[in-house]
Amino acid sequence: MTIAASNLGVAQLLIVQLAAFLAALLLASGLHKLIGRERIQAAVQEFAGVPRRFAPFVVAAVAATEGLAGILLWMPSSRAAGGALAVLIWGCYLWLILRAIAHGRRDVDCGCSFGAAQRPLGTYHVVRTAGLSGGALLVAAGCAASVTGPIIASQILAALALLALYGALDQAMSLTPPRNGALL
Protein backbone atom coordinates (compact mmCIF):
# COMPACT_ATOMS: atom_id res chain seq x y z
CA MET A 1 0.00 0.00 0.00
CA THR A 2 2.89 2.37 0.81
CA ILE A 3 4.54 1.68 -2.55
CA ALA A 4 1.31 2.49 -4.40
CA ALA A 5 0.91 5.71 -2.42
CA SER A 6 4.52 6.74 -3.07
CA ASN A 7 4.20 5.92 -6.80
CA LEU A 8 1.10 8.10 -6.94
CA GLY A 9 3.00 10.89 -5.18
CA VAL A 10 5.89 10.69 -7.63
CA ALA A 11 3.49 10.63 -10.59
CA GLN A 12 1.68 13.65 -9.16
CA LEU A 13 4.95 15.53 -8.69
CA LEU A 14 6.10 14.77 -12.25
CA ILE A 15 2.75 15.69 -13.83
CA VAL A 16 2.60 18.97 -11.91
CA GLN A 17 6.21 19.79 -12.82
CA LEU A 18 5.59 19.01 -16.47
CA ALA A 19 2.44 21.17 -16.38
CA ALA A 20 4.44 24.05 -14.88
CA PHE A 21 7.09 23.80 -17.61
CA LEU A 22 4.53 23.57 -20.41
CA ALA A 23 2.60 26.51 -18.94
CA ALA A 24 5.77 28.63 -18.76
CA LEU A 25 6.67 27.67 -22.34
CA LEU A 26 3.21 28.50 -23.68
CA LEU A 27 3.08 31.82 -21.84
CA ALA A 28 6.56 32.72 -23.12
CA SER A 29 5.59 31.63 -26.66
CA GLY A 30 2.44 33.75 -26.63
CA LEU A 31 4.37 36.76 -25.37
CA HIS A 32 7.10 36.13 -27.96
CA LYS A 33 4.53 36.20 -30.75
CA LEU A 34 3.26 39.58 -29.56
CA ILE A 35 6.74 41.07 -29.15
CA GLY A 36 8.05 39.82 -32.52
CA ARG A 37 4.83 40.36 -34.46
CA GLU A 38 6.48 41.23 -37.79
CA ARG A 39 8.58 38.07 -37.95
CA ILE A 40 5.70 35.89 -36.76
CA GLN A 41 3.27 37.46 -39.24
CA ALA A 42 5.72 36.71 -42.05
CA ALA A 43 6.05 33.14 -40.77
CA VAL A 44 2.28 32.74 -40.62
CA GLN A 45 2.07 33.86 -44.24
CA GLU A 46 4.92 31.69 -45.56
CA PHE A 47 4.69 28.70 -43.25
CA ALA A 48 0.94 28.36 -42.72
CA GLY A 49 -0.22 29.98 -45.97
CA VAL A 50 -2.39 32.60 -44.29
CA PRO A 51 -3.16 35.61 -46.53
CA ARG A 52 -1.30 38.78 -45.55
CA ARG A 53 -4.41 40.68 -44.48
CA PHE A 54 -5.38 37.94 -41.98
CA ALA A 55 -1.89 37.33 -40.56
CA PRO A 56 -2.13 39.93 -37.74
CA PHE A 57 -5.42 38.40 -36.55
CA VAL A 58 -4.06 34.86 -36.73
CA VAL A 59 -0.96 35.85 -34.74
CA ALA A 60 -3.12 37.55 -32.09
CA ALA A 61 -5.43 34.52 -31.91
CA VAL A 62 -2.54 32.04 -31.63
CA ALA A 63 -0.82 34.17 -28.95
CA ALA A 64 -4.09 34.40 -27.00
CA THR A 65 -4.70 30.65 -27.34
CA GLU A 66 -1.18 29.83 -26.14
CA GLY A 67 -1.62 32.25 -23.24
CA LEU A 68 -4.96 30.69 -22.33
CA ALA A 69 -3.50 27.18 -22.43
CA GLY A 70 -0.61 28.34 -20.22
CA ILE A 71 -2.96 29.87 -17.67
CA LEU A 72 -5.18 26.78 -17.64
CA LEU A 73 -2.15 24.55 -17.03
CA TRP A 74 -1.20 26.53 -13.88
CA MET A 75 -4.46 25.75 -12.06
CA PRO A 76 -5.25 22.21 -10.89
CA SER A 77 -8.97 22.61 -11.59
CA SER A 78 -8.39 23.47 -15.27
CA ARG A 79 -5.14 21.63 -15.92
CA ALA A 80 -6.76 18.84 -17.97
CA ALA A 81 -8.37 21.42 -20.27
CA GLY A 82 -5.05 23.28 -20.55
CA GLY A 83 -3.29 20.04 -21.43
CA ALA A 84 -5.90 19.22 -24.07
CA LEU A 85 -5.62 22.72 -25.56
CA ALA A 86 -1.81 22.43 -25.59
CA VAL A 87 -2.08 19.08 -27.41
CA LEU A 88 -4.26 20.79 -30.01
CA ILE A 89 -1.82 23.72 -30.39
CA TRP A 90 1.30 21.55 -30.76
CA GLY A 91 -0.59 19.04 -32.89
CA CYS A 92 -1.39 21.84 -35.35
CA TYR A 93 2.24 22.98 -35.34
CA LEU A 94 3.38 19.40 -35.94
CA TRP A 95 0.99 19.03 -38.87
CA LEU A 96 2.21 22.32 -40.39
CA ILE A 97 5.87 21.27 -39.96
CA LEU A 98 5.26 17.87 -41.55
CA ARG A 99 3.31 19.52 -44.39
CA ALA A 100 6.15 21.98 -45.07
CA ILE A 101 8.72 19.16 -45.08
CA ALA A 102 6.54 17.03 -47.38
CA HIS A 103 6.26 19.94 -49.83
CA GLY A 104 10.04 20.47 -49.83
CA ARG A 105 9.79 23.76 -47.95
CA ARG A 106 12.38 23.03 -45.25
CA ASP A 107 13.89 26.54 -45.35
CA VAL A 108 10.68 28.31 -44.33
CA ASP A 109 10.67 29.96 -40.87
CA CYS A 110 8.06 28.16 -38.77
CA GLY A 111 8.10 30.93 -36.15
CA CYS A 112 8.25 28.25 -33.48
CA SER A 113 11.59 29.22 -31.97
CA PHE A 114 12.51 32.17 -29.82
CA GLY A 115 15.31 33.27 -32.15
CA ALA A 116 15.41 33.70 -35.87
CA ALA A 117 15.26 30.27 -37.48
CA GLN A 118 18.48 29.46 -39.29
CA ARG A 119 18.23 25.70 -39.44
CA PRO A 120 16.00 24.03 -42.03
CA LEU A 121 12.94 22.18 -40.75
CA GLY A 122 13.74 18.57 -40.02
CA THR A 123 13.96 15.85 -37.43
CA TYR A 124 14.67 18.20 -34.51
CA HIS A 125 11.51 20.24 -35.18
CA VAL A 126 9.36 17.13 -35.58
CA VAL A 127 10.71 15.43 -32.44
CA ARG A 128 10.53 18.64 -30.37
CA THR A 129 6.95 19.35 -31.35
CA ALA A 130 5.83 15.74 -30.95
CA GLY A 131 7.52 15.62 -27.53
CA LEU A 132 5.75 18.78 -26.39
CA SER A 133 2.45 17.42 -27.64
CA GLY A 134 3.10 14.12 -25.88
CA GLY A 135 3.98 15.93 -22.65
CA ALA A 136 0.74 17.90 -22.83
CA LEU A 137 -1.17 14.67 -23.46
CA LEU A 138 0.47 13.16 -20.36
CA VAL A 139 -0.63 16.15 -18.29
CA ALA A 140 -4.20 15.96 -19.61
CA ALA A 141 -4.37 12.21 -18.98
CA GLY A 142 -2.79 12.53 -15.52
CA CYS A 143 -5.29 15.19 -14.56
CA ALA A 144 -8.18 13.08 -15.83
CA ALA A 145 -6.88 10.33 -13.53
CA SER A 146 -6.80 12.83 -10.63
CA VAL A 147 -3.00 12.80 -10.49
CA THR A 148 -2.59 16.50 -9.91
CA GLY A 149 -1.98 19.14 -7.29
CA PRO A 150 -1.01 22.77 -6.90
CA ILE A 151 2.18 24.18 -8.35
CA ILE A 152 4.55 25.20 -5.56
CA ALA A 153 7.39 27.75 -5.59
CA SER A 154 10.16 25.21 -6.16
CA GLN A 155 8.29 23.87 -9.19
CA ILE A 156 7.99 27.38 -10.61
CA LEU A 157 11.75 27.80 -10.30
CA ALA A 158 12.33 24.38 -11.87
CA ALA A 159 9.91 25.24 -14.71
CA LEU A 160 11.82 28.45 -15.40
CA ALA A 161 15.11 26.53 -15.35
CA LEU A 162 13.68 24.01 -17.82
CA LEU A 163 12.45 26.89 -19.97
CA ALA A 164 15.98 28.36 -19.99
CA LEU A 165 17.42 24.97 -20.99
CA TYR A 166 14.77 24.63 -23.68
CA GLY A 167 15.72 28.06 -25.06
CA ALA A 168 19.42 27.18 -24.97
CA LEU A 169 18.78 23.91 -26.84
CA ASP A 170 16.66 25.78 -29.35
CA GLN A 171 19.50 28.25 -29.97
CA ALA A 172 22.12 25.51 -30.16
CA MET A 173 20.04 23.57 -32.69
CA SER A 174 19.70 26.67 -34.87
CA LEU A 175 23.46 26.93 -35.35
CA THR A 176 24.87 25.78 -38.64
CA PRO A 177 27.59 23.19 -38.09
CA PRO A 178 31.08 24.10 -39.38
CA ARG A 179 31.89 22.73 -42.80
CA ASN A 180 35.21 21.22 -43.90
CA GLY A 181 36.76 21.65 -40.46
CA ALA A 182 36.31 25.45 -40.49
CA LEU A 183 35.66 26.99 -37.09
CA LEU A 184 33.92 30.12 -38.35
Least confident of 26-35, 54-63, 81-90, 106-115: 106-115
* Least confident residue range of 23-32, 63-72, 80-89, 117-126: 117-126
| Per-residue pLDDT reduced to its tens digit, 37-62 | 899 999 999 999 999 999 999 999 99
Lowest mean per-residue pLDDT among 63-67, 95-99, 168-172: 168-172
Please indicate whether residue 115 or residue 99 has the higher confidence score (pLDDT).
99
What pLDDT sits at residue 176? 64
Predicted model pTM:
0.85
The reported pLDDT for the residue numbered 180 is 53
Q: Write the single-letter amino acid at 105.
A: R
Q: What is the DSSP string of the chain?
A: -HHHHHHHHHHHHHHHHHHHHHHHHHHHHHHHHHHTHHHHHHHHHHHH---TTTHHHHHHHHHHHHHHHHHHHHSGGGHHHHHHHHHHHHHHHHHHHHHHHHTT-TTS--S-SSS---SPSSHHHHHHHHHHHHHHHHHHHHHHTT------HHHHHHHHHHHHHHHHHHHHHHSPPPSTT---
Most confident of 81-95, 109-123, 132-146, 165-179: 81-95
Give the DSSP letter of residue 78.
G
Res. 65: pLDDT tops 90: yes
Contact (Cβ atoms closer than 8 angstroms) between residue 24 and residue 160: yes
Three-state secondary-structure class, residue 179: coil
State the DSSP code for 121. Answer: S
pLDDT digits (tens, 9 = 90+) for 118-160: 678 889 899 999 999 999 999 999 876 665 667 778 888 888 8
Q: Say what the pLDDT of residue 66 is.
A: 97
What is the per-residue pLDDT for 3? 54
